[in-house]
Chain A
């Protein structure tokens, strides 16, 4: 399975944008890029996913590099409730749905 590399932790102030990077230099052409987040003492929740084009939804935006070797999850205005561990995960199409979680990025948001 292709691996992802994320910073261990990041900090942000409330109301500011947050850019969470993810490197995946060994990504294959058919791997989707998924982002999940896990709030403290809860199960993970889906954030966003994409293949080649940038994606937007009500939670976040996903910017994918042209060569697909990296991507960035963008939270446009961080809130205290966005404090969580964010996981960037690659999903190859032949893999039977399973998600392999890396260490993720722990985001702290300060008031």
Chain B
């Protein structure tokens, strides 16, 4: 089946530093990747939609200068949390899909970020 990986699986950083999270589709080409954020005991919140070779589309209320998304190839998207603060501590999850329409989304295992 389709596999999506994320790296790192967890990260602890100091306030003010930037953190990069990678999302890779291992056995398929992902035309579209998505980034979600999940706080404890809450549901997933979509942050942005990323298409290969084009700028990401951010959901309302998500700061694009704060959460930089790059989708340089059909198998890799990165999310950079710039100048992270404790309130950015969360579980970040990516997903990937092969085409538009009603295709299944394949999710990564998530990256847990703790900002001290």
Query: Which A residues fall within an 8 A CB radius of B?
Result: 32, 36, 38, 41-46, 49, 85, 87, 91, 93, 96-104
State which of B14-22, B61-69, B70-78, B102-110 sits at the interface with chain A. B102-110
| Interface size of B as a range | 20 to 34
User: Is A49's CB under 8 angstroms from B102's CB?
Assistant: yes
CB distance from A24 to the nearest CB of B (A): 16
Within 8 A of A (CB), among B65-116: 91, 93-95, 97, 100-110, 112
Q: B49 touches which one: A87, A96, A104 (CB < 8 A)?
A: A96
User: Is B43's CB under 8 angstroms from A104's CB?
Assistant: yes
B32 contacts partner chain A, Cβ-Cβ < 8 Å:
yes
Task: Tell me which residues across on chain B come within 8 A of A87, comparing CB atoms.
Answer: 43
Task: Tell me which residues across on chain A come within 8 A of B34, comparing CB atoms.
Answer: 97-99
Q: How would you classify the secondary structure of chain B's contact residues: helix, strand, loop or mixed?
A: strand
B13 contacts partner chain A, Cβ-Cβ < 8 Å:
no
CB distance from B48 to the nearest CB of A (A): 10
CB distance from B75 to the nearest CB of A (A): 17
Q: Do A101 and B103 form a contact, CB below 8 Å, given A41-B110, A43-B93, A43-B95?
A: no
Task: Tell me which residues across on chain B come within 8 A of A103, comparing CB atoms.
Answer: 43
